[in-house]
Amino acid sequence: MNETFYFWAPFSGSLSCIFIMDLKGKVVVITGASGAIGAAAARAFDREGSRVVMASRKTSAMEETARSLRDPLVLAVDLSDEDQARNMILQTVDHFGRLDILVNNAASIIVDHSGNVTLGDLLYAFRTNLTGPVAATKEAIRHMRKQGGGHIINVGSPGFLMGIPFYAPYVCSKAAFSAWTRTIQAEWAGTNIRVSEYFPGYILTGSKPESRLGPVSQDFLMAEEQNWITRLFTRPRTPDHVARQLVSLARKPKILIYSGFSTRLGAWLSNIPSFRLAIAGQMAENARKKLNPRDTQ
């Protein structure tokens, strides 16, 4: 069952409410479920008793995770295809009869110098990171309205605030995705359709990005000798940490949460141009030391 608790809000002079959702039996769609964060989220929601739908292009990785879950629905979905994104929602509703939570987690990451990024790179990133999730969200909300409510959780990235070097397609598309999230938050405010934004920061997944600069590790922008401020804001979290926060966010919807204090502080300080450029510039310098300088200039 769902419970609502009331508390006194001193600045408004009135009673406000906290909505708390019981996740047992709730149908949760998780995109990007083949990756470390998506797989961890699938396991976390399954432990809560939710009925989990795992969606990704990489079915073999999902099926491995699915074997440890109770009764998941595994869907092969390429989010860069809007029809497949919409059909993912239709298949979920057809199988379970409803949809309670959509976690838009999937993302395309292309690593290259901004001077080499093609229109095709940008379009693919925008299709996967924006238009696909938008199509899925629109279809999900259509069904959620019929059943009386639901929750959209959009996994964004504070990287667009900092300007992460060599990640232009990802950063640009995530900036647009954040704009979309905040727009629909305003449009659905005060209704039973809840929209949340989650900023994970730097998560140590162990996966390698799709690099056009040759083989790179996930931490190729980091360096041991970087200053303590940069180290603070690039301290990694784990996929399990993110999964616990996504479950908490689903249980108690909020407008925006960060993976930790350093991520929140970094996002705020990114509004200071000199600070933002110093941190991002340090990352670019770290990358140039590890890669062929001709590829990073």
User: Looking at 170, 198, 202, 258, which residue is catalytic?
Assistant: 170
Q: Which own/partner pairs from 281-289 qualify as long-range (CB within 8 Å, at least 24 positions apart)?
A: 281/165, 282/226, 282/227, 282/230, 283/164, 283/165, 283/221, 283/222, 283/230, 283/234, 284/165, 284/166, 284/221, 286/220, 286/221, 286/222, 286/223, 286/226, 287/165, 287/166, 287/220, 287/221, 289/223
Active site includes 170? Answer: yes
Active site members: 170
